[in-house]
């Protein structure tokens, strides 16, 4: 249990932390020779403009082996995923809901009703659009995804 | 019709961003493009990439395999779906082991991924495949006197290593088409490549709206008549959330936002 778990009264999630640490340690060995801290990633980072996050610090922390400090900071968790830094990651809770939705209907959300500028409610079918494409055999689709959900890359 | 494509609508366009889908279905047949609705498509996999890369790859490969089974190239008008499918093609094209692993999983649904088809977005379809001359011939009402700002969106321009439809630092294809349609535009304005904030909506919604508001405020101040975008995620931020975004930057925003094909 780390100091962060104690102050936040959070669950230790030691298995998850071990996995993150293993991955970051592997990444440390991969990138440390290549990044020379030009900070070009930070200068192009949208989250930097907005939140003063500095992605080049990720590489700096990794190079020094300060993995716990990086995991416990905001740097790797507040990525806008605009791909300016290819290594950005984020795991907010909403992704679980996405997965559940993909499993049950094939997409991240079901058909919505929309409101037009003149305040009328319209459904997809009202607009003359054909049915949205969905997996033909949901059972097979779900079985496959469930298998992958427990596998590791 | 000269060319047929499987229309991959993705989750966002087919469940709420109907204006984009309607405009595509109206405009592309005029330019001799036939859109085929293929059964069986699912999520492109992009929303799962941060959590489970294998699942993201599987979902993309599955959709490509369905289009291959129908002998059709894919038109993916959503920038996020286009990136996911293109990235999958890039990864599996360079990793035979992973391709075999994915094909093993796809066999359960009688599918096989080959990587033989093209993945197009509306920008490269209109600019590179249909061409400016053909578009010019079909213009009925030139957009004379209107000046539009463009928004490409992060997923359409990066990462250039895997091949994106437009240049990552100075994209100009949308501007070229807008000029052919008779509108005025500018190849550069300082906020042109700024993110819409859409993905940040998941964990930092207020910051996401600030990002949206900052760009719309700039577009309004520069005197553009509207903003043209090509991604349902970006459009959701700029259009549906414009009033809230204006509140975060303390500005009344009145920027008309158009989907590419509505123009």
Model ipTM value: 0.71
Residues of B in contact with A112 (CB under 8 A): 15-16
Q: What are the sequence ranges of the domains in chain B? A: 3-120, 141-262
Average pLDDT over residues B11-29: 93
**A22 occurs within a structural domain:** yes
Higher-pLDDT residue of B35, A61 = B35
- A19-23, A127-131, B79-83, B118-122: segment of lowest average pLDDT: A19-23
Task: Say yes or no: A136 and A98 in one domain.
Answer: yes
The CATH code of domain B141-262 reads 3.40.50.11810
CB B210, CB B248: distance < 8 Å: yes
Instruction: Domain of residue A30: give its range.
Output: 3-71
B216: Cβ–Cβ under 8 A, 6 or more apart, which residues? B227, B238, B242, B245, B246, B253, B255
CB contact under 8 A, B109 and A144: yes
**Domain total for chain A?**
2
Looking at A71, A103, A120, which one is the last position of a domain? A71
pLDDT value of residue B36: 97
Segment A66-85 mean pLDDT: 69
- pLDDT tens column, B128-159: 999 999 999 999 899 999 999 999 999 999 88
For residue B14, the model assigns a pLDDT of 93
Residue A109 lies in a domain: yes
Calculate what percentage of chain A has a pLDDT beyond 90: 3
Asked whether residue A145 is domain-assigned, the answer is yes
Whether the per-residue pLDDT at A86 is higher than 50: the answer is no
pLDDT band at B61 (very low <50, low <70, confident <90, very high): very high
3-state helix/strand/coil string of A114-147: EECCCCCEECHHHHCCCCCCCCCCHHHHHHHHHH
Instruction: Tell whether B38 is within 8 A of chain A (Cβ).
Output: yes
Do A10 and A49 share a structural domain?
yes
pLDDT of residue B184: 94
Q: What is the pLDDT of residues B154-197, one digit of tens each?
A: 999 988 888 899 998 899 999 999 999 999 999 899 999 999 98
User: Does residue A67 sit in the same domain as residue A8?
Assistant: yes
Does residue A133 surpass a pLDDT of 60?
A: yes
**Side-chain half-sphere exposure of A8, counting CA atoms within 13 A:** 10
Q: Is residue A88 part of a domain?
A: no
| Euclidean distance between CA atoms B46 and B83, whole angstroms | 8
For residue A82, is pLDDT > 70? Answer: no
Check: CB of residue A88 under 8 Å from CB of residue A48.
no
Residue B218 has pLDDT above 50, yes or no: yes
Residue A7 lies in a domain: yes
Residue A89 pLDDT exceeds 60: no
Interface of B with A in 111-130 (CB under 8 A): none
Residue A66 lies in a domain: yes
Q: A56, A71, A86: which is the final residue of a domain?
A: A71
Query: What was the pLDDT predicted at A10?
Result: 61
Is A36 within a domain? yes
pLDDT of residue A14: 75
More confident of the two residues B5 and A109: B5
When pLDDT is cut at 50, 70 and 90, the band that residue A87 belongs to is very low
A88 — pLDDT class (breaks 50, 70, 90): very low
Selected residue with higher pLDDT from B42 and A74: B42
Average pLDDT value over all residues in chain B: 92
Size of interface A-B (CB pairs under 8 A): 147
Cβ atoms of residues B112 and B103 within 8 Å: yes
Stated pTM of the model: 0.81
CATH topology of domain B3-120: Glutathione S-transferase Yfyf (Class Pi); Chain A, domain 2 (1.20.1050)
What distance in Å separates residue A102's CA from the closest CA in chain B?
Answer: 7
Please check the confidence at residue B263 and state whether its pLDDT lies above 70.
no
- In this structure, the answer to whether residues A20 and A59 fall within a common structural domain is yes
Say what angle helices B53-69 and B79-94 make with each other, to 10 degrees: 90
| Closest-CA residue to B173 (of B196, B146, B150) | B150
Chain A residues with CB under 8 Å of B204 CB are 51, 78
Tens-digit pLDDT profile for residues A13-67: 677 777 777 877 777 776 656 676 777 777 777 777 676 677 788 778 877 778 7
Q: Report the pLDDT value the prediction gives residue A153, as an integer from 0 to 100.
A: 41
Asked if pLDDT for residue B240 goes beyond 70, the answer is yes
Rounded distance between C-alpha atoms, residue B243 and residue B246, angstroms = 5
Q: What is the pLDDT of residue A55?
A: 78
Q: Is residue A89 part of a domain?
A: no
Nearest Cα residue in chain A from B209: A50
Question: Do B3-120 and B141-262 share a fold?
Answer: no
Task: Calculate how close chain A gets to B2, using CA atoms only, in Å.
Answer: 22
């Amino acid at each position: 249990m780390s100091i962060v778990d104690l102050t936040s009264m959070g669950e230790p999630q030691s298995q998850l932390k071990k996995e993150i640490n293993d991955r970051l340690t592997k990444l440390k060995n991969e990138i440390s020779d290549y990044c020379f801290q030009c900070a070009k990633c930070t200068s192009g980072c949208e989250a930097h403009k907005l939140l003063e996050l500095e992605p080049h610090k990720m590489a700096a922390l990794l190079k020094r082996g300060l993995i716990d400090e990086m995991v416990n900071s905001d740097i790797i968790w507040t990525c806008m995923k605009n791909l300016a830094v290819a290594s950005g990651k984020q795991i907010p809770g909403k992704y679980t809901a996405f997965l559940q939705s993909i499993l049950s209907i094939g997409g991240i959300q079901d058909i919505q009703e929309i409101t037009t500028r003149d305040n009328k409610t319209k459904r997809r079918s009202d607009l003359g659009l054909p049915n949205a494409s969905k997996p033909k055999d949901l059972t097979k689709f779900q079985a496959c995804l469930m298998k992958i959900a427990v596998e590791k890359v | 019709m000269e060319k047929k494509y499987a229309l991959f609508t993705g989750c966002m366009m087919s469940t709420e961003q109907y204006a984009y889908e309607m405009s595509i279905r109206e405009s592309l047949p005029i330019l001799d493009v036939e859109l085929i609705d293929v059964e069986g498509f699912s999520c492109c996999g992009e929303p799962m990439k941060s959590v489970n890369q294998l699942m993201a790859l599987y979902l993309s490969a599955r959709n490509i395999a369905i289009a291959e089974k129908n002998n059709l190239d894919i038109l993916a008008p959503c920038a996020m779906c286009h990136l996911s499918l293109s990235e999958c093609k890039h990864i599996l094209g360079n990793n035979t082991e992973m391709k075999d692993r994915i094909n093993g999983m796809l066999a359960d649904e009688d599918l096989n991924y080959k990587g033989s088809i093209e993945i197009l977005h509306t920008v490269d379809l209109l600019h590179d495949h249909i061409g400016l001359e053909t578009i010019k011939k079909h213009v009925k009402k030139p957009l004379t006197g209107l000046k539009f700002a463009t928004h490409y969106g992060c997923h359409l321009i990066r990462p250039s290593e895997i091949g994106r439809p437009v240049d990552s630092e100075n994209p100009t294809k949308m501007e070229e088409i807008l000029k052919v349609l008779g509108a005025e535009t500018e190849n550069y304005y300082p906020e042109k490549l700024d993110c819409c904030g859409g993905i940040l909506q998941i964990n930092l919604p207020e910051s996401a709206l600030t990002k949206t508001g900052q760009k719309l405020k700039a577009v309004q101040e520069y005197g553009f008549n509207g903003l043209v975008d090509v991604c349902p995620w970006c459009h959701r931020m700029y259009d549906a959330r414009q009033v809230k975004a204006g509140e975060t930057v303390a500005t009344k925003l009145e920027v008309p936002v158009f989907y590419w094909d509505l123009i």
